Structure 1
């Protein structure tokens, strides 16, 4: 194909835009376009969903595609246009991509970061919640294999549970099976889930089985999906893939091919961005059952404005007794614990969202906006407005 430096190229994005992974890669592609001031005319994966084979007849200029889908990979080796595949490191030596451009997410490094984070949090034992092995999820197989290698190299037993695919009709069965697996595991334990969706399932199963997160079961996922985090009562720690960088790299590769510029490297591995540590892995060695139950209840319902008396009722003791346990073990009262939770929750919302201050107060469990302002002035030495401005300016 003749190179065209200034024309509008037609590019097919065979990426699932419904999930965090695909969306973020597409965002990276768009970032590259903006930074280089190029313009492409896109067709999305959904345009080919009814007949993927129509790509063979499509009169386009290039394709960026999800190569974790083996059927799509096989199809795209036959098209007569530049193709950039995106997938996992499991396929780096595959004959299917030998002659194609390929950008890989480093699955082994994703698991290593998750494992190291759990070690840093003081967890003594480890397990992995994966997905039933099929030709459609080789990335999950690679992550589970990496987990086994890391754990066994450190002299631990590698506990791996492959759950069945998620489906509404078997949802309760999935959680019950997962709860039974959790029952068999020694505690405390750190669990690496191969996706954030799987991590959320572990969190729900812990609620069913009555295990405190993170004191008894610490959980970390992969993908750093803010939507799934917002759907969880306890914020889930996660390893962020370098998906934006993957998108930018794939777009750059395709751009060079479309304009006839030689590629320096055909195969690139993009490292993860790092761990986004949240409440689900903030493990404490404190095993006082009164405090465990109280903290777990606060993490689940603290943003709903629960009072200290309700926490004590859940634990099954008087407010005075629970205060005594907190003071003896942690040197603070139950009220202090509730306040710490609400401060942390509000700081997250002020930093990561554009919610109004009234909504931040309500979603953090403060009884009023005025009370939140009072707490910030007393505990932080600033107002919520000043805190948000400082965070946005990178001063905190």
Structure 2
């Protein structure tokens, strides 16, 4: 009989029964890998698979621990025969002593999404969940619904066709068109994932519905590649999946060392919302204010000021400020500062450029001017913001 042999017999042997097709799941695995590397390395057993490949633990595998996405009963049954510590990183199934959970906080995600649109002044709200064929448990929608209803509004939820044979939204297109057409506008829509958000945006584009001014779209689960392939970049909730993986690995090591399972799951709170053009709604009915906001966005990486706006629009400063307050309840200067702050945050999150290089690219006179502006707007330095964006480094700094 052929026997399995460990590649690294002196290391902990850990099985990873997690999707490795989606960006979210790969980020979880990155967090696991990072923890393992910091603790001498683990001998991983990995079962590469996609969304529709059934992942089951082979009965002859031997090891010290498992990190799994326990998505249905068959997966759980395949794990039952392995007498070793197991961590569940899925929203599916229930937390238990046998299969304790380390997950992104779905309720926190739903509340964050709902509050984002409520605080932005929306009065109409929509929600579209995952394709039914994936059999996902969706704990986000109830949290969004509760927040919206507590603000005395209602939530319209897309009702997919249960007979659809595929996750391909071409099979749901006519149904999705009817739903989007019937929605009151402007409306803020929370989508379960970037994939689903993209389908809403494609439908709006085909119907001549403006995104984001008629329909603003926010994704719960982020995939940067899908966002790039969309009509415009999609706003999303920063769930910190790397930290989910890192903390799952930490918890697994604690159990392997003799620790007792926790009574409650470890829920990793979302960090915040990363704003992209898909939620950049302009509520102003005043066309001059709309033109002003568009001009600010086009020039947000330069040293633009209110005088530049008044010259561009051929209007007095006092008149422009009055119209801004009436339309948006803020001043042109506040709008400029907000736009310039978003540029700095994008550079800090997405690049390794020095502060001097970021200053030059974003229209600030010098590094000190950038630092003072950022600290005044956020209460933290650019360096602190960049470190906090790394979810694992940020978690360590909180300990």
TM-score of the two chains, using structure 1 as the length reference: 0.69
Q: Does 2:266 match 1:269?
A: yes
Asked if structure 1 preserves the Cα contact closer than 8 Å seen for 2:244 and 2:268, the reply is no
Q: Does 2:164 match 1:166?
A: no
- String of CA shifts for 1:240-272, please: whole Å, max 9, x gaps: 22423321222122213333x222515423132
CA drift at 1:70: 4.0
Match of 1:10 in 2: 13
Counterpart of 1:46 (choices 45, 48, 60) is 48
Asked if structure 2 preserves the Cα contact closer than 8 Å seen for 1:83 and 1:100, the reply is yes
Asked if structure 2 preserves the Cα contact closer than 8 Å seen for 1:83 and 1:254, the reply is yes
Asked if structure 1 preserves the Cα contact closer than 8 Å seen for 2:24 and 2:222, the reply is no
**Structure 1 residues 248 and 157 mapped into 2: Cα distance closer, same or farther (>3 Å)?**
same
Alignment of structure 1 residues 209-358 onto 2, 5 Å: 209-259=207-257, 261-263=258-260, 265=262, 267-279=264-276, 280-288=278-286, 347=344, 350-354=347-351
CA drift at 1:290: 8.0
Q: Does 2:150 match 1:148?
A: no
CA drift at 1:34: 3.6
Q: Does 2:88 match 1:85?
A: yes
Match of 1:131 in 2: 130
Asked if structure 1 preserves the Cα contact closer than 8 Å seen for 2:194 and 2:226, the reply is yes
Counterpart of 1:75 (choices 74, 78, 87) is 78
Match of 2:34 in 1: 31
CA drift at 1:204: 2.3
Match of 1:306 in 2: none
**Structure 1 residues 342 and 255 mapped into 2: Cα distance closer, same or farther (>3 Å)?**
closer
The runs of at least 4 consecutive aligned structure 1 residues that moved more than 6 Å come to 47-51, 293-299, 319-322, 325-328, 339-345, 380-383
- String of CA shifts for 1:134-185, please: whole Å, max 9, x gaps: 57311x2x22233334333443332100446532xx53x5455433322111
CA RMSD of aligned residues (A): 4.5
CA drift at 1:20: 2.1
Match of 1:307 in 2: none
**Structure 1 residues 345 and 152 mapped into 2: Cα distance closer, same or farther (>3 Å)?**
closer
Matches of 1:74 and 1:214, distance apart in 2: 45
Asked if structure 1 preserves the Cα contact closer than 8 Å seen for 2:190 and 2:217, the reply is yes
CA drift at 1:86: 1.4
**Secondary structure at the counterpart of residue 58 of structure 2:** helix
**Structure 1 residues 54 and 247 mapped into 2: Cα distance closer, same or farther (>3 Å)?**
closer
CA drift at 1:277: 3.4
CA drift at 1:14: 0.9
**Structure 1 residues 91 and 186 mapped into 2: Cα distance closer, same or farther (>3 Å)?**
same
Q: Does 2:113 match 1:114?
A: yes
* Range with bigger deviation, 225-234 or 178-187: 225-234
Unmatched runs of 5 consecutive residues or more in structure 2: 1-8, 301-311, 326-332, 375-380, 388-399
**Structure 1 residues 320 and 24 mapped into 2: Cα distance closer, same or farther (>3 Å)?**
closer
Unmatched runs of 5 consecutive residues or more in structure 1: 1-5, 304-318, 362-369
Asked if structure 1 preserves the Cα contact closer than 8 Å seen for 2:17 and 2:68, the reply is yes
Match of 2:69 in 1: 66
Asked if structure 2 preserves the Cα contact closer than 8 Å seen for 1:20 and 1:223, the reply is no
Asked if structure 2 preserves the Cα contact closer than 8 Å seen for 1:118 and 1:190, the reply is yes
Match of 1:312 in 2: none
Matches of 1:196 and 1:224, distance apart in 2: 5
